[in-house]
Amino acid sequence: MKDIGGLMKQAQAMQAKLAEAQGKMAEMTAEGGSGGGLVTVTLKGSGELVSVHIDESLMAPGEAEVLADLMVAAHANAKKTLDAQQAEMMRAAAGPMAGMMGGIPGLKF
């Protein structure tokens, strides 16, 4: 049987690392673009949209549908980047116990 005290210490250390990682994730930002940079958005770690840049060429009459599509695509790119960064941060924080954490609901690795 493994040393329960040692396992508890490892679990507590991992819990502290995960809490630290979650704090860092809230502070991170991710940028996503579409249309070759015509639309760029920035998301906070929480997923909150904090900035949007739209190239002036898309402000012409008749470009509303194109603009809407590019905004959705830029947001999707930013969200994908953010999710990947956060998953990597959580894997790094969990260390050798990351494999054991995959079955816990709410934790993404």
| pLDDT one-digit tens code per residue, 39-96 | 999 999 988 999 999 999 999 999 999 999 999 999 999 999 999 998 888 888 877 6
Distances (CA, A) of 81 to 3, 14, 22, 55, 97: 40, 24, 16, 22, 24
| pLDDT one-digit tens code per residue, 31-41 | 999 999 999 99
Closest CA to 79 of 42, 34, 35, 36: 42
- Whole-angstrom distance, CA of residue 100 vs CA of residue 17: 15
